[in-house]
């Protein structure tokens, strides 16, 4: 059974960098899509982008292109979401999710990482 465990809550100041992780258990990581999903306070889910862990093929949603970077480390079965310069509007809950390469859905989800950006 795949489990995704995300890193803990973070508090940062505007302009700071941040890297959030999502570690997968199980043996399917190298053939999985990993998605990152944002939920701002009181709002719905937004799909930020997806990365295929086998070859790091990455697709960003236009709203997030250029502002975040997705990556994976196959040796540790870990996916990452990073910012080089946070804004206050990045304050949100962030979920990672995975799905099989043979399917086109997200069947495993992390518990979420709360990011707070405040001066």
Residues that bind other proteins in the complex, under the rule CB under 8 A: 35, 37, 44-47, 49-50, 59-62, 95, 97, 103-107, 109-112
Give Dmax over CA atoms of the chain in angstroms: 44
Q: How far is the CB of 16 from other proteins (least distance, A)?
A: 26
Three-state DSSP class for residue 77: coil
Q: How far is the CB of 38 from other proteins (least distance, A)?
A: 10
Q: In terms of Cα–Cα distance, which of 59, 55, 10, 35 is closest to 107? A: 35
Pick the closer one to other proteins by CB: 59 or 74: 59
Check the CA dihedral 20-67-70-113 and report its sign: positive
Q: How far is the CB of 104 from other proteins (least distance, A)?
A: 4
CA atoms within 13 A on the CB side of 110: 29
Pick the closer one to other proteins by CB: 24 or 49: 49
Pick the closer one to other proteins by CB: 27 or 105: 105
């Amino acid at each position: 059974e795949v489990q995704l465990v995300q890193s803990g809550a973070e508090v940062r100041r505007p302009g700071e960098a941040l890297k959030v992780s999502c570690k997968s258990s199980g043996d399917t990581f190298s053939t999985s899509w990993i998605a990152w999903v944002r939920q701002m306070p009181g709002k719905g889910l937004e799909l930020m982008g997806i990365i295929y862990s086998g070859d790091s093929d990455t697709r960003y949603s236009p709203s997030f292109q250029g502002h975040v970077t997705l990556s994976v480390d196959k040796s540790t079965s870990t996916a990452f979401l990073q910012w080089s310069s946070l804004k206050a509007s990045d304050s949100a809950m962030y979920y990672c999710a995975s799905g099989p390469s043979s399917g086109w859905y997200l069947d495993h989800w992390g518990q979420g990482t709360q990011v707070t950006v405040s001066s």
